[in-house]
Chain A
């Protein structure tokens, strides 16, 4: 459904993605794991059109995405919860969620999705009139995910949703990811917490310095020596 073919992205002269190819099929959770600076965020930014690839192509259900501006890519069905949550701190929780639904006009559908998000994250419902900046880190992460859901994405991109969260909250977030997937959401999950990511994902890719070095189903990746040494901290 989502496919990257030999994608190269640059920051000025820095060659950050050196030919990334990956795909995510409908209904899957696919994880992209890698160390700091490997190019995970760059991959997601490129898919969302914040960065335009210099070579290669990006496809969503047979439609080409690369080169389109980010707002059009959202309209085509790609939602992203960016790294570091990036909620709008002075907008209220409600307004943050409304911004998530910016591309939509169906009032009734928006209302239903809002209920759905509040169902997933009851804490957000309690805090709906509070500025986003006053939420705790975990609540901000919930808001970022909820906000990304509000555009009814065909593919949801999650950039390190567990970053900086207490273990209990990490558990909650991964449970939510599983639940969203069960409801039919297709997810591309970027994580440094490889153990958790591989536990929820169907398949995974390992990225190192802008290259995909491994790709397999999650179970095999968990058994892979490189993955075990470098990303699962096993010896």
Chain B
């Protein structure tokens, strides 16, 4: 590894210099922008705390989606681009249940039961879509060159997107609001809405559950074994196909849950809703080191917070108007930067390449 690195530096020196200049410029903008913004004192502490809490909320959702990308990558060494559609399919389907509950008044009479049912339907749908994609689009290509399933994944993504567009229509559907979730609690400078609390607590609980599952259970250990070495795992008597399906089920369930949380925060769903959060979550997964489960959790939170604080913090002080509209640009700049400077991600352990 050391040898290849030296070789690369020597061969690509002019490019590297150029890249490092860009990197330095970005660091400069971030530092100067932050200092300028903070010294102007335009925003109160409360405003920053609000942004931070919102960032954590959004980040928790990214983390949940990112786990799906990272787990599938860990096991198949493949980016499941259709995962954004797995995320969309759940809450989009569950919308109709939520709407029915809302019309009948059940949603506000027993919000807990109603929410549980909405989550169940959303997660179930996402799991079904994820498993079908694996079975139909990926499994037949298990031994094909790596580019093939990647292209198939993009195809599957469009297919699912337009299938749901055909099923449920093109217009944006407004998720019904739940009265019980409308309030907020204030703790000094902290102001947290109930929805934010629900999102953060639910996401944290699911991530803890996933962590325990992967670390402690027999199936979880088998997942890790398959991720490390598929054919040796088979020699242990592990049914590799079953473990792969399990991975898609877990990723789908988390994405379906993330979808409802997303719908509660942004109160709308549509067939294209998976695209941006999908790419953001993919960014989060890369940020944390793709294939790395704790990395995806951290990467999501980090991205959410950067995206929420970044525009004001880095850009406002530089006199850029309406910086918040640049939040996506910040997220994607971050992706490009990570890919250039630290392709292995924050928790960057190198994933052992599979030997043939």
A residues lining the B interface (CB < 8 Å): 48-50, 69-71, 74-75, 80, 82, 86, 88-91, 95, 98-100, 102-103, 147, 151
Contacts and interface: CB of A to CB of B under 8 A. Distances in A.
Nearest to A96: B225
Interface residues of B, number: 18
A191 to B, nearest CB: 19
Contacts of B117: none
Contacts of B240: 71
Contact of A88 (B228, B234, B237): B228
B233 interface: yes
Interface in B223-238: 224-225, 228-229, 231-238
Query: Do most interface residues of chain A lie in helix, strand or loop, or is the interface mixed?
Result: loop
Contacts, number: 64
B7 interface: no
Nearest to B356: A11
Contact of B221 (A71, A99, A147): A99
Contact of B231 (A50, A95, A99, A151): A50
**B222, B234, B352 interface centre (most CB from chain A within 10 Å):** B234
A99 B235 CA distance: 10
Query: Do most interface residues of chain B lie in helix, strand or loop, or is the interface mixed?
Result: helix
Interface string B235-266: 11111100000000000000000000000000
A71 B239 contact: yes
A147 B238 CA distance: 13
Given A89-B352, A99-B221, A50 B235 contact: yes
Nearest to A100: B236
Nearest to A11: B356
B228 A91 contact: yes
Nearest to B232: A86
**B224, B228, B233 interface centre (most CB from chain A within 10 Å):** B228
A217 to B, nearest CB: 29
B218 interface: yes
A106 to B, nearest CB: 14
A99 B225 contact: yes
- What 3 pairs between A and B have smallest CB-CB spacing? A74-B237, A103-B237, A70-B234
B235 A48 contact: yes
Contacts of B233: 88, 99
A48 B218 CA distance: 22
A162 to B, nearest CB: 19
